[in-house]
Amino acid sequence: MKQPGGIANKLSELGYRLTPQRIMVLSAIEDSDNHISVEEIYAQIVAKYPQVNISTVYRTLELLKRLGLVTETDLGGGRVRYHSAEKGHHHHLVCQECGAIIDLDESVLSSLKDTLLREYKFIAGLRHLAIFGRCVNCSR
Amino acid sequence: MKQPGGIANKLSELGYRLTPQRIMVLSAIEDSDNHISVEEIYAQIVAKYPQVNISTVYRTLELLKRLGLVTETDLGGGRVRYHSAEKGHHHHLVCQECGAIIDLDESVLSSLKDTLLREYKFIAGLRHLAIFGRCVNCSR
DNA sequence: TTTACTGCAAATCTTTTGCATCAAC
DNA sequence: GTTGATGCAAAAGATTTGCAGTAAA
């Protein structure tokens, strides 16, 4: 139905069927600049194809997560969000005032990672960390 | 019914009623070394007083949260946990292998806080951060 | 005595699951 | 043609809410 993106190719290489539903979920995730929630993915799909069921979205996300093609991040408030694993890891500054999500380079946290390893012998994952606070606009 | 702790005093000073249910929720939170979940609080209470309803626990936690007497932390996996605001802020290293929760001193994160303020003009809350990874025992 | 708080039951909301049908391969 | 994927409906789990009775102040 659409041009399959990078993830779609991998799915198909791994022997999974490339259904229109899966491609739509993939497109929603790949096209999203930021992270996207289940409901947002579903809303996008239903707008075009109302017969698609939300359980399919859940099942597809479950599959993609399991295969490591998509990553799940908990940005607080129980709202889990997804993004393409291809886009690499990064962290987030979440403004509790306006809800803005600012991407944070991985390098900023490398010294923290070192400290934790040195002082706590703890290997920090630090793949998808959300730091809550207040952004420039809201702190005035 | 029991000796009211520090939080109970505040509650009563603020004009809220000190019911046995509220005191039991407070005791559960104050007695807990670590963070405690809704179900754990409820289980503790029901063991003694089976007629207490879980919705009361939710309502009490909602109140305590709103008054800033208790803090809610999301340690991942949708499991929200609570602890007394009086015990001060600290952070957590959560081992994804064995589930161990290691308390992390606030000072470790102060340099990160400075960096975020300097480079991103972002005022980081960093009150209850959970960092996931692997602890000493499990990394071997 | 007053009315905030509670217990109960039902509603909500999110996510999961069983099963018959359907379509990707 | 096979069998994995989907839609549907129902279940499951967590949290919230309306309401009438109860008890803290």
Residues A11 and A4: their CA atoms lie apart, in Å, by 10
Residue A77 covered by a domain: yes
Query: Measuring from the CA of residue B78 to each C1', which nucleotide is nearest?
Result: D14
Residue B124: CB atoms within 10 A of its CB come to 19
CATH code (residue B35): 1.10.10.10
pLDDT at res. B1:
45
Residue A84 and residue A7 in contact, taking contact as beta carbons nearer than 8 Å: yes
Phi, psi of B91 (to 5 degrees): -120, 175
Residues A120 and A24: their CA atoms lie apart, in Å, by 44
Q: Which is higher by pLDDT, A92 or A10?
A: A10
Residue B4 pLDDT exceeds 70: no
pLDDT at res. B93:
82
Q: Which is higher by pLDDT, B67 or B80?
A: B67
Residues A72 and A29 in one domain: yes
| Helices marked H in chain A | 6-13, 20-31, 38-48, 54-66, 110-120
Q: In terms of residue numbers, what domain contains A126?
A: 90-133
B32 CB and strand C closer than 7 A: no
Does the beta-carbon distance from A112 to B112 stay under 8 Å?
Answer: yes
Residue A45 and residue A25 in contact, taking contact as beta carbons nearer than 8 Å: yes
Q: Look-up: residue for tokens 């303020």?
A: B117
pLDDT at res. A75:
64
CATH code (residue B107): 3.30.1490.190
Q: Which is higher by pLDDT, A11 or A132?
A: A11
What is the pTM (predicted TM-score) of this model?
Answer: 0.77
* pLDDT (tens digit per residue) in A50-103: 999 999 999 999 999 999 999 887 765 556 889 888 777 777 787 777 777 787
Distance A112 CA to D11 C1' (A): 45
What letter would DSSP give residue A121? Answer: -
Residues A75 and A125 in one domain: no
